[in-house]
Amino acid sequence: MNQTKSFSLFTDFDIDLFKAGKHFQLYEKLGAHPLTVDGVEGVYFAVWAPSARTVSVIGDFNYWVQGENQLFVRWDSSGIWEGFIPNVKAGTRYKFKIQSHNGLITEKADPFAFYCEMPPNTASIVWKHNYKWKDDAWMKKRAKVNQLNQPFSVYEVHLGSWRRPGDGRKFLNYEELGDQLVEYVLETGFTHVEFMPVMEYPYDPSWGYQLVGYFAPTSRFGNPDQFALLVDKLHQAGIGVILDWVPSHFPDDAHGLGFFDGSHLYEHPDRRKGYHPDWKSLVFNYGRNEVRSFLISNAIFWLQQFHVDGLRVDAVASMLYLDYSRKDGEWEPNIFGGRENLETISFLKDFNEAVYSNFDGVQTIAEESTAFPMVSRPTFAGGLGFGMKWMMGWMHDTLQYFKKETVYRKYHQNDLTFSMTYAFSENFMLPLSHDEVVYGKHSILGRMVGDEWQRFANLRLLYGYMFTHPGTKLLFMGAEFGQSSEWNFEGSLDWHLLQFGYHSGIKATITALNKLYKSEPALHEKQFSPEGFEWINYSDHQNAVLSYIRKGENAKDDLVIVCNMTPVVRPGYRIGVPAKGKLKELFNSDQLAYGGSGVVNDKAIKIDDQAWDGRAQSAAVNLPPLGVAVFKISK
């Protein structure tokens, strides 16, 4: 029998930081760490369990017997139990068995485990990270390519249902995903991928948003080194990687964080703050310093250990408001009588400051669905400190507009123009995400009106409008080729649709728009600045036409965009333009190659000295039916 030996990786300074909520590399101390002590190989175990009377490590090495390997509690009231167990090796399964002072016994997975058993099994696995990275070129340049004045075209992916193997296995593994996803993202031209949560989760229908193993890539697709290989392959291809991160809530599974040591350790003890009624899950106690250290360490871990380029933070609105999804009497105001969760606000600021002060070229992105102010403004200016925020209002208004029959669109022009009244109040990312293609909402294609040709033309128009609207872009997998059905996490995307012309035309449209977004400075250099946008005419509601200018650092890069929201072809449609010369068409969503009818401007258009739209010059262009045309001024 291997007796537990007293040993510690913690210094007094570590403990001080932990108690202060400022230890952001706890994963180097807590958890299971293979090492050599006095010439003997084994594993150092450490766990935070301040309400415990005893803590034992149970696992393959002691036949899962409680008491065989008890840990030692530290003397400093930190609540940390630790010890070194000789001859335990990487790959060993284990859990912590905790006897509380109230007599309750819990059997828990390691909150800091780097690797977990394949669900539905629930044990943690000792793991030592050994991956040798080959992404030096990417890491050196990402501080430039991930700046806010650079193109961010994000492909949102659920790894379990993007593509299935077809050989009887349920999933592609990380290595196969690396090969196939890299090829596809390069082909379609996205700059980044965003993975829905890859941290270990027990329940497939949660899509990964109910996390248990916060420090472990899910074992569904392989081990942690294989996940690192996936990220590495994307980086070597020049593709950034963003992870969904869920600090908002966690499930109450018996082996998880809930009631961890017989007390409300990670969750808030007041049910009004510690329980989420929508998701029937537990909410972190953001006012507890040790919990803040846990969460911020987790964010730092993915950025440090797996070279991740950004974190999209899920459900921020649910964190910010004490009354979120709660009725009167189910919440308590803050000390100022307001409904804002002051502890959350403080935590989010600390999180963003820790991320941006420790890493160059990373971004944090908030999924925040309300008008909470200054989400993407620096903390020193009073903001929450995120780099970007999802533009949920734009998404909602735009999809509502495109559901309307075209004959009625002239009455609803404001659905599209309203976004420009607040477009620069935050650094907005325009999302058409997984949330918009589930629960009876239909696919994005399914929202489009008209006959078959019009539905696909509307979709191309929507994407053209999206890519020329200020802000960065996010598109959920399948939408890039016009997936017909709602997303089903239990199956693959309908890749067979690409054999049909209209669907392959949508993919060609997205490919062209990604190329345009990346190659034209006017579409990204000032995407968060009012200086980067100017209306030409937003009031031609009778024809349901919008025209506007996108601007870069140099006037020579300016683009003129015209959107025709009806199926009526409009030859010789006159628009005011900002300079003399000729208009050259760079993109037209009605090209035959995209499945359109071919109403394009294939020759340069002379700009006339005819005043129009309040400008001294104008030009007559051919407007495609349900189409968007993008022009550049040349001499």
Three-class secondary structure of residue 464 per DSSP: helix
**Contact criterion met (CB below 8 Å) for 459 and 482:** yes
Q: Is 368 a catalytic residue?
A: no
State the Cα–Cα distance between residues 309 and 518, nearest whole angstrom. 18
**Contact criterion met (CB below 8 Å) for 572 and 620:** yes
State the Cα–Cα distance between residues 463 and 399, nearest whole angstrom. 11
Residue 25's contacts (CB-CB under 8 Å, 6 or more residues apart) are 297, 300, 301, 304
Among 358, 393, 389, residue whose Cα is nearest residue 373: 389
Q: Is 314 a catalytic residue?
A: yes
State the Cα–Cα distance between residues 41 and 114, nearest whole angstrom. 19
Q: For the stretch 225-246, what's the b/e string if a residue is b when 16 or more beta carbons lie within 10 angstroms of its beta carbon?
A: bbbbbbbbbbbbebbbbbbbbb
Q: Which of the 8 DSSP states describes residue 182?
A: H
State the Cα–Cα distance between residues 418 and 354, nearest whole angstrom. 35
End-to-end CA distance of the chain: 84
> Tokens 């961890």 map to which residue?
260
Q: Which of the 8 DSSP states describes residue 71?
A: P
Three-class secondary structure of residue 408 per DSSP: helix
Element holding 276 (H helix, E strand): strand 275-276
**Contact criterion met (CB below 8 Å) for 332 and 341:** no
Cα distances from 604 to residues 522, 607, 630, in angstroms, run: 20, 9, 12
**Contact criterion met (CB below 8 Å) for 105 and 99:** yes
Element holding 414 (H helix, E strand): helix 414-417
Active-site residue identified among 82, 135, 367, 520: 367
Residue 39's contacts (CB-CB under 8 Å, 6 or more residues apart) are none
**Contact criterion met (CB below 8 Å) for 456 and 464:** no
Active-site residue identified among 110, 261, 314, 415: 314
The token duo for 530 is 């009012």
Element holding 193 (H helix, E strand): strand 192-195
Q: Burial level of 498, CB count in 10 A (0-12/13-18/19+)?
A: middle
Q: Which of the 8 DSSP states describes residue 46?
A: E
Three-class secondary structure of residue 206 per DSSP: helix
Q: Provide DSSP, 128-165.
A: --------HHHHHHHHHHTSTTS--EEEEE-TTTS---
Active site residue ranges? 314, 367
